[in-house]
Amino acid sequence: MAYPYFQAVELLRQHTPLVQCLTNSVVMQFTANVLLAAGASPAMCDTPEESADFAAVANGVLINAGTPSSEQYRGMAEAIRGATAAGTPWVLDPVAVGGLKMRTDFARGVVDKRPTAIRGNASEVTALAGLGAGGRGVDATDSVDSALEAARRLASRTGGVVAVSGPEDLIVSPDRVTRLHSGDPMLQLVIGTGCSLGALTAAYLGACRGSGLSLHDAVLAAHAHMGVAGQIAADRSQGPGTFAVALIDALHGVDVEDIRTLSTIQEDLG
Amino acid sequence: MAYPYFQAVELLRQHTPLVQCLTNSVVMQFTANVLLAAGASPAMCDTPEESADFAAVANGVLINAGTPSSEQYRGMAEAIRGATAAGTPWVLDPVAVGGLKMRTDFARGVVDKRPTAIRGNASEVTALAGLGAGGRGVDATDSVDSALEAARRLASRTGGVVAVSGPEDLIVSPDRVTRLHSGDPMLQLVIGTGCSLGALTAAYLGACRGSGLSLHDAVLAAHAHMGVAGQIAADRSQGPGTFAVALIDALHGVDVEDIRTLSTIQEDLG
Amino acid sequence: MAYPYFQAVELLRQHTPLVQCLTNSVVMQFTANVLLAAGASPAMCDTPEESADFAAVANGVLINAGTPSSEQYRGMAEAIRGATAAGTPWVLDPVAVGGLKMRTDFARGVVDKRPTAIRGNASEVTALAGLGAGGRGVDATDSVDSALEAARRLASRTGGVVAVSGPEDLIVSPDRVTRLHSGDPMLQLVIGTGCSLGALTAAYLGACRGSGLSLHDAVLAAHAHMGVAGQIAADRSQGPGTFAVALIDALHGVDVEDIRTLSTIQEDLG
C-alpha cells in the first residue's frame, strides 16, 4: 500500500481539521482536549441558531446524543442539514441507544440522513440497526462480533462506514470489513474515551479528504490512533487517573511508526 | 462486627452498581470518573423524558441541584418519582442551599419525598433543615458539629441517613450518629469532590442492598472510601492538579485494608 | 513602585474572592479548578432566576459566551444587571465572536453595558470592535499587535481594561498600554486556558479593589499569574495531559518571586 492507514496521522497534523462537536456535557472538556492533543481543532458549537452555518465551515461534525435536551436535538438537526448541504463529513455516535426510547427514535431518524460514519459499541450498533435491545448506558454488554450483521446493515443503508468499538474494533463498509487490534482495557475506566473517539473519527474524515485515502481507512486510522495511545498510556500509569493524563500525552506524541508497530489489522472477515 | 463498613468496598466492586446522576454541568465529568475508578458505572441521564424510566433500572440515583435549569428540575422530579416507585435508593445533595432562594425551595420540597440519604456540608444541611442561612456556593463556613441538630431533624423527617461532610464527617440516622475521621484538606481544592461523594453514596446504597449492611453503614463506607483515597493521594501529589489525578488512582486502588487502617470512627455521639 | 502587579497574587490569596462564572459547559470544570488552585472561590451560578442576586454578593463576575443557550443569555443579562447595580467588577470574554452572528450581536450589546474588563484573543477583540472578521472558534489567527487599535477603541468606549491574549499579551486602558511577556505555547493545547484566564481576571479585579492597585494592574497580574504558571508547568510535563495537571499545581504554588522573575513587561507602547 502506498499510503496505508497508519500514515493518516500525518495528514491530521498537517491539516488541523476544525471539528464541530454536538456532544453531551459529561465529555465536552475531555473531547476537546483529545482533539487538541491529537492534532485537530475543536469547536463545541451546538445551538439551533449557529449549528448549520458552522457545519458548513467545519471540516468534520460529530453528532453524539449522550445527554439530549430538546434544544440540542434541534441543534443537531441543523448541523446535519448544514453538513449535508456543504458536503462536510459527519459522524453519528448513538450513545445508549436501545435502552431509552427517546434517543433510540432520534438516532434511528438520524441514520436516514446517511451519516458518513457511525461509531458505537456492539450493543448500541445492534440496537441502532433494530436487531437488539441495546446496552445500559455506555457499557458494551455484547461482543463486537455479535454486531457484525447489524453493522453491515447500517453500512449498506447509509453507504458509509460503521465502527464497532470494543476490546477489538470492527470497521465495516458496504464492501469491506476490517478488524483492528489495539487499545487497552483501561480505556473503559475513563469517561469519554468512546465519545472522543467519535470526535477523532470526524477529525480524520476531514483530514483525509482529497488525500486518496478511503473513508474506511480514515475511520480505521482514528481508531488506531486512540487505541495505540491507550497502549502507550497503560505503560506509563498507575490507575485510571494517571492513565487519562498519559492518554492525552500519548495522543499528542504518537507517530506513524508507533501506529504501524503497535496496531494490527485483519481484512475481509466477512 | 461480622461485616463492618470498611468491607463494603468489596460489595461495590462485585456489583458495579449503575448510578444515575442528575447533577450540575461543572462536575459531571469528574463525577463519572470517580464512579468508574471506585468500581461503579455512571449514567448521566437527566432529561424529563428519560429520567423516570432510567431510575427504575438504576441501582442508585443522585439528585444534585448545583446548576439548576428548569428542564433539569423537571428531570429531577421524574427521577425521584421513578426511583420511589421502583424502590431504587436515592441521594439528595443540596448544593449551595440557603444562599439562593430558588434552589433552597426546590431542595426543601425534595426532602418531603424522603431521600434515602442526604449529603451536604454543614452550611447546606443547616439551611436545608431551616435552621441557618446557608453557605456561599459550595464552601463550608460552619463546622460539622454545628449541623448535628439539623441533621437529626432531617434524618427523623425522612427516615433516612444524613451525612455532613467536612474536615470530619458526621453520619446521622434516626437512631445512630457516627463521626468519621478520614480525608485531607486538599479535597477542598478540587472541584467536585463533594458532589462526587454524593454520587459514590448512591453507588454504595445500591451495592449494599440485600447484604445485611445498614443504609447507615453504606453511607459511612462511601465517605470512608473517598476520605482514605484523599489521604493516599495527598502523599503522592505536589498540588491540587496532581492531587486530583492521584485521587482517581487511589479511588481505584483502595482496598479493605486501606480503609480499615486509614479511617477511624466514633459511635453514639448523640 | 510600592506595590507592583506581581505582588497582587498575595491579595488574591488573602481575599479568596468569590467569582461567579457564567461560562460555557466545555470549560466549567477546568475554570473552577483554576480558580481554586490560584486562590479564589468559584461559583458557576448562571440561571436567569439566581444570577442577579448572586452577582450582588460575588467579588467578580465572568460573562463568557462560548456555548450560548437562550436560558444562559438571559442569565448573563441578569448577572450584568446585578453586578452593575452592586458595583461588582465584571469581565466579558467574547469567545468566537466574529465568526458567528448571534454571539457577535450579543457580545457587542454587552460592550454597551461597560464591562470592567474584556479579555479575548486578537481575532475576537478585533471583531468585537467591528474592525475584522473574527476567528474560527477559539483560535487566534491574528497577532496581538494587529488588535491594538481595536483594543484602544473598546477601552475608550467602555472606560475599562481590554486584554488581548496571545504569544504575548497586550493590556490596554484608555491611558495606558502594557505588553506582557510570559506563558508557553503549550497553553494553546489545553482547552479552557483562555476562558479560565477570563475568570482569573475577574478574581483579581475583586481581590485588588480598595488596595490602591489599578484595574489595569489587576488585569495584568491575572495574565502574569497564568503565564508564569504555564512556564513552570512546561518544565514539568511531557505533553498536554501532564502540562494541564502541572499547570493547576503551578497556579497554586506560584508566588510573588516567581511572577517577578519569570514575567517581564513593557509600558507605553502606544
Q: Which residues of C touch B239 (CB under 8 A)?
A: 37, 248-250, 252-253
Q: Which helix (H) or strand (E) holds A22?
A: strand A18-22
CA of C57: which chain B residue's CA is closest? B136
Contact check, Cβ <8 Å, A244/B247: no
Going by pLDDT thresholds of 50, 70 and 90, the confidence category of residue A130 is very high
Tell me how far apart the alpha carbons of residues A130 and A105 are, in angstroms, rounded to a whole number: 11
Contact check, Cβ <8 Å, C244/A33: yes
CA of C40: which chain B residue's CA is closest? B189
CB of A244 within 8 Å of a chain B CB? The answer is: yes
Going by pLDDT thresholds of 50, 70 and 90, the confidence category of residue A137 is very low
Contact check, Cβ <8 Å, A240/B36: yes
Over range B9-32, report the average pLDDT. Answer: 97
- Nearest by Cα to C114 from C152, C154, C149: C154
Is the pLDDT assigned to residue B200 strictly greater than 80?
yes
Q: Looking at the DSSP assignment, which residues form a beta bridge with residue B195?
A: none
In the β-sheet with A60-64, what is the strand arrangement from edge to edge? A41-43, A18-22, A60-64, A90-93, A117-121, A161-165, A169-173, A176-181, A264-267
The grid coordinates of residue A61 equal 461534525
CATH of the domain at A194: 3.40.1190.20
Q: Is C196 annotated as a binding residue?
A: no
Tell me how far apart the alpha carbons of residues C153 and C126 are, in angstroms, rounded to a whole number: 10
Over range B126-143, report the average pLDDT. Answer: 67
Over range A232-252, report the average pLDDT. Answer: 98
CB of A54 within 8 Å of a chain C CB? The answer is: yes
Contact check, Cβ <8 Å, B44/A24: yes
Looking only at the bridges linking them, the beta strands covering A90-93 and A117-121 are parallel
Q: What ipTM was reported for this prediction?
A: 0.94
Going by pLDDT thresholds of 50, 70 and 90, the confidence category of residue C138 is very low
Give this prediction's pTM: 0.95
Q: What is the pLDDT of residue A69?
A: 77
Compute the Cα dihedral for C38, C43, C46, C52 and give only its sign.
negative
Q: Which residues of C touch A29 (CB under 8 A)?
A: 26-30, 191-192
Q: Is C44 annotated as a binding residue?
A: yes
Q: Given its phi and psi angles, is residue C197 left (phi above 0), alpha (psi -120 to 50 degrees) or beta?
A: alpha
Strands (E), chain B: 18-22, 41-43, 60-64, 90-93, 117-121, 161-165, 169-173, 176-181, 264-267
- B200 and B23 Cβ atoms separated by less than 8 Å: no
- A252 and C252 Cβ atoms separated by less than 8 Å: no
CA of B35: which chain A residue's CA is closest? A189
Tell me how far apart the alpha carbons of residues B215 and A117 are, in angstroms, rounded to a whole number: 46
Tell me how far apart the alpha carbons of residues C157 and C123 are, in angstroms, rounded to a whole number: 18
Is the pLDDT assigned to residue A226 strictly greater than 80?
yes
CB of C192 within 8 Å of a chain A CB? The answer is: yes
The grid coordinates of residue A25 equal 456535557
DSSP-derived secondary structure for A109-167: HHHTT--SEEEEEHHHHHHHTTSS---STT---S-GGGGHHHHHHHHHHHSSEEEEESS
Is the pLDDT assigned to residue C269 strictly greater than 80?
no
**A199-208, B129-138, C1-10, C140-149, range with the lowest pLDDT:** B129-138
Contact check, Cβ <8 Å, B245/C250: no
Compute the Cα dihedral for A80, A81, A83, A89 and give only its sign.
positive
Going by pLDDT thresholds of 50, 70 and 90, the confidence category of residue C133 is low
Instruction: Identify residue C75 by its one-letter amino acid code.
Output: G
Q: How many residues does chain A have?
A: 270
Model confidence pLDDT, tens digit, residues C86-120: 999 999 999 989 878 888 999 999 999 999 999 99
Q: What is the pLDDT of residue B141?
A: 52
Q: B244 CA to chain C: closest CA distance, Å?
A: 9
Q: A23 CA to chain B: closest CA distance, Å?
A: 13
CB of A133 within 8 Å of a chain B CB? The answer is: no
Q: Can you give the residue range of the structural domain that contains A46?
A: 5-267
- The values of phi and psi at residue A56, to 5°, are -75, -25
Q: How many residues does chain B have?
A: 270
How many domains are contained in chain B? 1
| b/e burial code for range A92-110 (CB count within 10 A of at least 16 → b) | bbbbbbbbbeebbebbeeb
The grid coordinates of residue A264 equal 494490527
CB of C141 within 8 Å of a chain A CB? The answer is: no
CB of B85 within 8 Å of a chain C CB? The answer is: no
Strands (E), chain C: 18-22, 41-43, 60-64, 90-93, 117-121, 161-165, 169-173, 176-181, 264-267
Q: Is A28 annotated as a binding residue?
A: no
Tell me how far apart the alpha carbons of residues A237 and A260 are, in angstroms, rounded to a whole number: 23
- C91 and C201 Cβ atoms separated by less than 8 Å: yes
Instruction: Identify residue A106 by its one-letter amino acid code.
Output: F
Model confidence pLDDT, tens digit, residues C213-259: 999 999 999 999 999 999 999 999 999 999 999 999 999 999 999 99
Q: Which residues of B touch A33 (CB under 8 A)?
A: none
Is the pLDDT assigned to residue A140 strictly greater than 90?
no
**A134-148, A223-237, C147-161, range with the lowest pLDDT:** A134-148
Number of Cβ pairs closer than 8 Å across A and B?
90
Coil vs helix vs strand at B189: helix
CB atoms within 10 A of CB C212: 8
